[in-house]
């Protein structure tokens, strides 16, 4: 499943470092698309161009304060993900809670960075997240799974996809679980030198169906394949700049 992306990543690595301004423009492009799509999946009505102007500090008329904050907060969360990667820090529950505080800052300060204390349901899904009193144990089990040798040996794409799926199945927070799961997926990829990926709102149905299959049947292949396609898409974007520079 990973042979093609492994070859493309090797080709990308062989051509690193990319030119400074190429890297800067790629980062800005992916930050915008990642932020727009992750928020759109959750119901934010800002268009990609409106998201761009909000990131530039401009208020869009007719849109809620929450929608503006979702854009700015997600940018801050991406900055924190990049900081974790640059420092080479191992993943921890504390980092996950900090990411959540960043995502929900000014939107729901009471629950920002705090595990939920009530039952929640995932709209349209057969899977029902665990009861709130089980969250602490479930998150500890997730971290134990993440740190075990078998998980470390997984291909980074499989490991990142499974981390995303297991985390969002636990649904540890009242709100923002989808955004955090996609941040964790990209954190895992970026740690291994892959460019961040964008789960596109246009693929929302297939994305939800693959996740529900993972949660109800413990069958992760469909979701890993979906993530693999997006990984190849991002690699192709980076590789296209090499071809233009040669």
Q: State pLDDT tens for residues 41-92.
A: 999 999 999 999 999 999 999 999 999 999 999 999 999 999 999 999 999 9
- 171 touches 122 (CB < 8 A): yes
Question: Which of 151, 159, 201, 155 is closest to 179 using CA atoms?
Answer: 201
Domains identified in the chain and CATH numbers? 3-245 (1.10.3290.10)
Specify whether 171 is catalytic.
yes
> Tens digit of pLDDT for each residue in 85-137?
999 999 999 999 999 999 999 999 999 999 999 999 988 889 999 999 999 99
pLDDT value at position 245?
56
For 158, phi then psi, to 5°, come to -65, -45
**Encoding tokens for residue 98?**
């900090």
User: 1 falls in which pLDDT band (50, 70, 90)?
Assistant: confident
Q: Is the pLDDT of residue 244 over 70?
A: no
pLDDT at residue 109, as a whole number: 96
pLDDT at position 209 is 96
Q: Distance between CA atoms of 35 and 78, rounded to whole angstroms?
A: 9
Those residues with Cβ within 8 angstroms of residue 9's Cβ, 6 or more apart along the chain or in another chain? 193, 194, 235
Name 17's Cβ contacts closer than 8 Å, sequence gap at least 6. Answer: 23
Q: pTM for the whole thing?
A: 0.97
Active-site position among 68, 100, 171, 215: 171
Secondary structure of 148-206 as H, E, C letters = CHHHHHCCHHHHHHHHHHHHHHHCCCCCCHHHHHHHHHHHHHHHCCCCCCCCCHHHHHH
- Report pLDDT for 243: 64
């Amino acid at each position: 499943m990973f042979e093609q992306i492994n070859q493309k990543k090797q080709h990308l690595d062989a051509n690193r470092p990319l030119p400074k301004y190429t890297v800067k423009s790629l980062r800005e492009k992916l930050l915008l698309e990642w932020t727009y799509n992750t928020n759109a999946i959750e119901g934010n009505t800002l268009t990609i161009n409106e998201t761009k102007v909000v990131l530039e500090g401009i208020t869009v008329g007719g849109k809620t304060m929450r929608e503006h904050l979702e854009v700015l907060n997600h940018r801050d969360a991406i900055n924190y993900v990049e900081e974790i990667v640059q420092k080479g820090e191992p993943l921890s529950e504390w980092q996950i809670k900090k990411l959540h505080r960043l995502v929900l800052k000014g939107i729901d300060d009471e629950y920002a960075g705090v595990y939920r204390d009530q039952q929640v349901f995932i709209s349209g899904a057969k899977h029902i997240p665990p009861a709130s009193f089980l969250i602490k144990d479930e998150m500890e089990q997730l971290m134990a799974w993440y740190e075990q040798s078998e998980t470390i040996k997984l291909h980074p794409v499989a490991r990142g996809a499974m981390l995303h799926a297991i985390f969002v199945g636990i649904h540890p927070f009242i709100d923002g679980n989808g955004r955090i799961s996609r941040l964790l997926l990209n954190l895992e990829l970026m740690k291994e030198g892959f460019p961040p990926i964008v789960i596109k709102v246009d693929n929302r149905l297939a994305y939800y169906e693959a996740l529900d299959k993972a949660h109800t049947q413990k069958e992760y292949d469909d979701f890993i394949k979906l993530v693999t396609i997006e990984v190849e898409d991002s690699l192709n974007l980076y590789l296209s700049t090499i071809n233009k520079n040669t």
